Amino acid sequence: FSVMIDCAIGEGDMAHAERLLSQMIEQGGHPSEVTFNSILRAYVADNSLESLHKAVRVLDQMQDSGVIPSTDTLNMLMSATVSAEQSALAEKVYDRMQEMGQYADGYTYTILIQAYARQGRLPDAVTAFENLSKDPHAIVDIAAYNAM
């Protein structure tokens, strides 16, 4: 199924890719994070609000299937939401990350800092930077400083 899903994505037929994913699950298949990420990556590349909401729906389906999205997967979605000027959606994805017990990394915090800065929420950006500085799982890098 994964190869067929990739082919559908390559043809730009996201509806078919999602139908194949649903068929895979209905027939007892177990899509991997890589399979879900293929679909997510295609949606976030579109950079439209509608596609971002579809990506969130795929994230829901991913979790419902018992696949725990990695920090990299969640960062991909968060970054796309900020690029599409949907910073509130980035916060929701971050909240889900926390609920799942996934660790934020330096890139996660940098995305949050960018989101807050774009909204003019400088105190929140400073708090995110401070949280980054204190988090043992994250490293402050030049990108985080530049985002500030």
pTM: 0.89
Q: What is the mean pLDDT of residues 15-25?
A: 94
Sign of the alpha-carbon torsion through 96, 98, 104, 110: positive
Q: How far is residue 19's CA from residue 71's CA, in Å, rounded to a whole number?
A: 26
Q: Write the DSSP symbol of residue 70.
A: P
Here the tokens at position 122 are 């400088």
Kindly list the distances between the CA atom of residue 45 and the CA atoms of 59, 126, 148, in Å, as whole numbers in the listed order. 15, 29, 25
pLDDT, tens digit, for every residue of 30-59? Answer: 999 999 999 999 999 988 899 999 999 999
